[in-house]
Amino acid sequence: MIFRSFIVAGLLACGFVHSALAEVNPPEPVYPIPSERQLAWHALEYYGFFHFTINTFTDKEWGYGDENPEEFNPTACDPRQWVEIAKEVGMKAVIPTCKHHDGFCLWPSKYTEHSVKNSPYKDGKGDIVGEVARACHDLGLKFGIYLSPWDRNHPEYGRPEYIDYFRNQLRELLTQYGEVSEVWFDGANGGDGYYGGAREERRIDRATYYDWENTWAIVRELAPNAVLFSDVGPDIRWVGNEKGFAGDPCWHTYTPHPNEPGGQAAPGASNYKEGVNGHVDGEYWLPAEVDVSIRPGWFYHESQNDQVRSPENLMELYYQSVGRGACLLLNVPPDDRGLIHETDIAALRGFKTLRDATFKMDLAHDATAKASNVRGDVDTYAASNVLDDDRSTYWATDDGVTSGSITVDFGKETTFDHVVLQEYIELGQRILRFSVDAYSGGQWRTIAEGESIGWKRILRTDPVTAEKVRFNVLEAKACPTLSSLSIYAGPDVK
């Protein structure tokens, strides 16, 4: 192989082979790199959470576990409506809370009586999880599951028997409802609860109790394409806050650390605040998911109907999550009728209108692009690859060239206020520092700077009118890649 490259290089130098025809190896990956399932997850960008359980009817956030299933009584429940709305507003997946901390199951699990089967809903014949899953599969959305590890209803919680129960439920959910794309394990676990009538405090060792390695293995076996979420991954990490923002920078790479010296990092026992930025030299590919609610609470409360986030606020969350390379998991809790509330629908639609208005037309699409260096001087890695609609083509430089630039020429003065960048992350997150310049009136000036790019970086600028834009890689771990550069004029730019 080395010998062949040597000959090709020699022929190139002598001008015997036209550069565009020569075969040049792609850059070596910079590890860690994403798995196939992680790559599919990155592409989702925006998806929905549905918090729904007896809490919806008792006006609580955390049920104690002693609730009567009779209280679960939605009068007009329509899980298909939830999924239809999600699809309409651009979400690519949804995750219902199949069982929250109170232990009530939205599906008729054969391992407990504490479920929909003993509720008035469809006279005990209902299965909310099944209805959501079916709607997802019909409408082409991915379907994920939230299964709370903590169970304040179960008599054996805190003892080994509960782990069998928990795993049996996981198996039910992974085998009865078709393809599952994400499994969400909450870090909140252990504490006081009903526990079959004991009404006591039960502390667990969060690092060992759930034997996570073997619990995760069930997901790998039954849903090999599903990503596993928790404070520590293993596929995607909690961003470390529930306020709706990733850090700047936000690295896809991360090393989960324990929350106390000498401890073991585990869901609910990690130094989760590090998740907001990640680690530039993190050991694992563990990108951030930003989970946040459209309302102050995770569950529906009538008293919060006037506190639903506005479209503008949701747009801010989008910039602070998707715009920093994370995915946005937006909770929209169905109300006590079992429907997404009108106010929430209006906010979601307004948010979609704002996104569409902003990212309607890529002003760089018909521009030309030139790079300071092109790998092997071949078209395969040319700068023009960043302007096409194909994310699998990318610009790359020669080995050892860890800085460089791409100049995009509009051919005329163009006004914009957004620049969107994407690395070719299949080869790792390589760029460490970059800037963007604009050329007008015969001069270049810097309009944006940053560190992390990864799957996606959305840069907002003041309105700029320029003939050319230059993207500069200032520092990279190895020769950089860029698969996409697009430029937009948001609604504020006339």
Residues that bind ligand FUL (CB under 6 A): 61, 186-188, 291, 298
Minimum Å gap between C-beta 298 and ligand FUL is 4
Could you give the CA distance from residue 239 to residue 235 in angstroms, rounded to a whole number?
13
Minimum Å gap between C-beta 166 and ligand FUL is 16
Minimum Å gap between C-beta 69 and ligand FUL is 20
Among 311, 348, 331, smallest CA distance to 85 is for 348
Q: Which residue is nearest to ligand FUL (CB)?
A: 188
Contacts of residue 9, defined as CB under 8 A and 6 or more positions apart, other chains included, come to: none
Q: Indicate the residue among 181 and 422 with the shorter CB distance to ligand FUL.
A: 181
Could you give the CA distance from residue 444 to residue 361 in angstroms, rounded to a whole number?
24
Q: Indicate the residue among 152 and 324 with the shorter CB distance to ligand FUL.
A: 152
DSSP character string of 323-389: GGT-EEEEE----TTSS--HHHHHHHHHHHHHHHHHSS--TTTTSEEEES--GGG-GGG-GGGGTSS
Could you give the CA distance from residue 112 to residue 155 in angstroms, rounded to a whole number?
11
Among 348, 298, 274, 438, smallest CA distance to 81 is for 348
Q: Indicate the residue among 98 and 340 with the shorter CB distance to ligand FUL.
A: 98
Minimum Å gap between C-beta 63 and ligand FUL is 10
- Helix 128-139 / helix 79-88 crossing angle, nearest 10 deg: 30
Any alpha helices (H) in 159-239, and if so which ranges? Answer: 160-176, 212-222
The backbone torsions φ and ψ at residue 272, rounded to the nearest 5 degrees and listed phi first, read: -60, -20
Minimum Å gap between C-beta 133 and ligand FUL is 19
Minimum Å gap between C-beta 152 and ligand FUL is 11
Q: Indicate the residue among 43 and 188 with the shorter CB distance to ligand FUL.
A: 188
Can you name the residues that pair with 468 across neighbouring β-strands?
409, 439
Minimum Å gap between C-beta 256 and ligand FUL is 17
Minimum Å gap between C-beta 146 and ligand FUL is 7
Q: Indicate the residue among 170 and 420 with the shorter CB distance to ligand FUL.
A: 170
Q: Indicate the residue among 206 and 470 with the shorter CB distance to ligand FUL.
A: 206
> How far, in Å, are 235, 252, 274, 276 from residue 255 at the CA level?
12, 10, 9, 12
Asked if 457 and 323 touch (Cβ cutoff 8 Å), the reply is: yes
Q: Indicate the residue among 146 and 177 with the shorter CB distance to ligand FUL.
A: 146
Q: Indicate the residue among 186 and 235 with the shorter CB distance to ligand FUL.
A: 186
Peptide bond into 234 cis (omega under 30): yes
- Strands in 296-388 per DSSP E: 327-331, 368-371
